[in-house]
Amino acid sequence: MKLRLYQIDAFASRVFAGNPAAVVPLDAWIDDATLQGIATENNLAETAFLVGGQGEYEIRWMTPAAEVDLCGHATLASAWVVFNVLEPNRTEVAFRSKSGPLGVVAEGDRLALDFPSRPPRPSDAHAESLGEALGCAPALALSSRDLMAVYEREEDVRSLVPDMRKVAAFDVTGVMATAPGNECDFVSRFFAPAFGIPEDPVTGSAHCTLVPYWAKRLGKTTLRARQISPRGGELFCELRGDRVAIAGRAVKYLQGTIEVPG
């Protein structure tokens, strides 16, 4: 069976930056083992699979190790494929996912995700263990789907050298570290070794939690963020009630055909 595959650098304005995601459009769903096999073979942080058309698609995301319930950069990449390959000139797309309905709208050269807001709550019990796992004690420990370590300075986040074994031991998807930014509203890093992603280059879904936190702390609803991984990425965010808009650019790195059993 031959399938189309596109690799898109999301939250980037040039190749070799942002977060690379594979996008595989399907005519109909195939078995989960094959989907996971493709994602493992791709060995990217996420592979997105799409089924649908006419502006409405089901979407699923898989890391090299497991399926996840929400992924921002691979949704951005999927929207790029819809707008530029599957349905050229379309500027809006609706995705049905395990996290509910997700929308993407083209806004100039940016694509804006419409994602759920997931505000964090205090998690003092994790403060000591987060400090041990990340190598530096945070000023504040919070949790939502993921754990969140808040630091006082951007330099604190940049200098973290996590113990991936300890990070993987937390019963969460991943651990994010964040601080006020020197040249933006806030910065972050994201680690998910239990899902086969030691450090994720740019994590859209983490901003479902980061944006409501920083919006409340800074007293503003429109925020500019940077994920300061080695590849790095820029995100333009807005808190809209119980939803979060997360916008960024995307560029195509490759397209091709893969062959799988079936």
Specify the pLDDT at position 89: 87
Specify the pLDDT at position 101: 95
Catalytic site residue from 46, 154, 199, 234: 46
pLDDT, tens digit (0-9, with 9 covering 90-100), for 158-206: 999 999 999 999 999 999 999 999 999 999 999 999 999 999 999 999 9
| Domains and their CATH numbers in the chain | 2-115+247-259 (3.10.310.10), 121-241 (3.10.310.10)
Q: Examine the residue annotation and report whether 67 is marked as an active-site residue of this protein.
A: no
d(CA 206, CA 229): 14
Specify the pLDDT at position 262: 78
Class of residue 109 by CB neighbours under 10 A (exposed 0-12, middle 13-18, buried 19+): exposed
Specify the pLDDT at position 186: 98
Alpha carbon distances (Å) from 168 to 21, 173, 237:
22, 9, 28
- Position 83, amino acid: F
Report phi then psi at 67, rounded to 5: -80, 145
**In sequence order, which residues have a C-beta less than 8 Å from that of residue 112 and are 6 or more positions away?**
104, 105, 106, 236, 245, 246, 247
Name residues of the chain where pLDDT drops below 70: none
Neighbouring-strand partners of residue 142: 122, 148
Specify the pLDDT at position 227: 97
Task: Answer for the pair 44, 60: CB distance below 8 angstroms, yes or no.
Answer: no
- Distance in Å from the first CA to the final CA of the chain: 6
Specify the pLDDT at position 134: 98
